[in-house]
């Protein structure tokens, strides 16, 4: 992935906030390679996983890559619980 755009949602990624972020993430994922930095995410539930999977599909359909940076521990634990942790495109340290 070369020179990806950065998307850094902040606050809670939950059932309440997910609908407001869906279209913005889709637009960014379709526009080019994207790094989603989750460092400022204060809470994440299954809706956050649904958002990420949707954004991944949008990026893939447009021929772009999407990587996750700084996923909260709760999000990765939830992904492991659902046995989809292997699907998350985690950015590797350089």
As a residue count, the chain comes to 94
Flag whether 22 is in a domain.
Answer: yes
Predicted local confidence at residue 92, as pLDDT: 78
CA distance 16 to 68: 21
73-86 mean pLDDT? 95
Q: What is the pLDDT of residues 24-67, one digit of tens each?
A: 999 999 999 999 999 999 999 999 999 999 999 999 999 999 99
Question: In terms of Cα–Cα distance, which of 15, 20, 74 is closest to 42?
Answer: 74
% of the chain surpassing 90 pLDDT: 93
Predicted local confidence at residue 90, as pLDDT: 93
Predicted local confidence at residue 2, as pLDDT: 63
CATH code (residue 18): 3.30.750.24
Question: In terms of Cα–Cα distance, which of 67, 68, 55, 49 is closest to 27?
Answer: 55
Please give the residue range of the domain that contains residue 14: 5-87
Q: Confidence band (pLDDT; 50, 70, 90) for 1?
A: low
Flag whether 72 is in a domain.
Answer: yes
Flag whether 93 is in a domain.
Answer: no
Q: What domain count does the chain have?
A: 1
């Amino acid at each position: 992935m070369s020179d990806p755009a950065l998307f850094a949602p902040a606050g809670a990624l939950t059932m309440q906030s997910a609908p407001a972020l869906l279209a913005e993430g889709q637009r960014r994922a379709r526009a080019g390679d994207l790094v989603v930095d989750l460092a400022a995410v204060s809470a994440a539930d299954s809706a956050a996983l649904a958002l990420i999977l949707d954004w991944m599909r949008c990026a893939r359909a447009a021929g772009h890559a999407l990587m996750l940076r700084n996923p909260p521990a709760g999000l990765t634990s939830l992904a492991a619980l659902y046995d989809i942790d292997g699907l998350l495109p985690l950015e590797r340290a350089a």
